[in-house]
Amino acid sequence: MSQYHAVPVPPMSIRFDQAAGTLSPEGPTLTRRMSDLEGLFRDHEAWEKAVADGDPVVYSVISSPVPEIDRELPQSITTIQPGTTGGELWMTKGHQHPNHQGEIYLGISGRGGLLMFDGTETRWVEMTPGTIGYMPPGWAHRSVNIGDEPYSFLAVYPGGAGHDYGWVLEHGMGLRALSGADGVELVDYVEG
């Protein structure tokens, strides 16, 4: 047996309710308000105003009990609220895995987009219920709500991959997702 067998978590059953967007039992929940997204929106003044004007919840992440440690395979459900700030669609902070490993997202409700950036090239995958978006190792990723209702997806990711949010502040994501006629208009990235 591996040294990793020393039971960080036992075999278990987790109920994944796609209609409700829940995992049960549930691990830690993370809530991101507008004030947590400093430096990410193109329109800094619109961001400041939104923070002052109630600092709304932009997205939340509920996790399964499987921990984020090497060799485990945790899961989480992210729900992004619909909205725009300075015309830019509400989104996650985005991150790179410092330990480059692949990840999947499975769309479960609403309409979203998955923006991926490897430092040079950008890819956009539209997400609806039943879409698996695949992020190969080395591609930073951000999710965007492009619809009028909450957008939820299940993530499955190697527990030792890590989250580097600073990478996105430094390198950007290649494109920005603005509200457009068909839900989304992708434009070149300019600094926030």
Indicate whether 16 belongs to the interface with a copy of itself (CB under 8 A). Answer: yes
Q: Which phi and psi (to 5°) does residue 17 adopt?
A: -95, 105
Q: Are 104 and 135 in contact (CB under 8 A)?
A: yes
Binding mask 103-122 vs a copy of itself (x if CB under 8 A, - otherwise)?
Answer: xx-x---------x-xx---
Question: Does 190 participate in binding a copy of itself (rule CB under 8 A)?
Answer: no
- Integer-rounded Cα radius of gyration of the chain: 17
Q: Is 164 in the site for a copy of itself (CB under 8 A)?
A: no
Specify the 3-state DSSP secondary structure of 180. coil
| Binding-residue pattern over the window 63 to 82 for a copy of itself, x denoting contact by CB under 8 A | -x-x----xxx-x-------
Contact flag: residue 29 with a copy of itself (CB under 8 A): no
Pick from 123, 162, 183, 192 the residue near a copy of itself by CB under 8 A: 123
Binding mask 128-147 for a copy of itself (x = CB under 8 A): --xxxxxxxxxx--------
Q: Does 25 help bind a copy of itself (rule: CB under 8 A)?
A: no
With contacts defined by CB under 8 A, name the span among 27-35, 38-46, 143-151, 153-161 that binds a copy of itself. Answer: 153-161
Q: Rounded CA gap, 39 and 110, in Å?
A: 26
Comparing CA positions, the residue from 158, 177, 145, 134 lying closest to residue 78 is: 145
Q: Is 189 in the site for a copy of itself (CB under 8 A)?
A: no
Peptide bond into 25 cis (omega under 30): yes
Is position 166 an interface residue for a copy of itself (rule: CB under 8 A)? Answer: no
Cβ burial 103-122 (10 Å sphere, 16+ → b, else e): bebbbbbbbbbbbbbeeeeb
- Phi, psi of 172, deg, nearest 5: 75, -170
Binding residues for a copy of itself, rule: CB under 8 A, are 1-2, 4-5, 7-18, 23, 64, 66, 71-73, 75, 100-104, 106, 116, 118-119, 123, 125-127, 130-139, 156-159
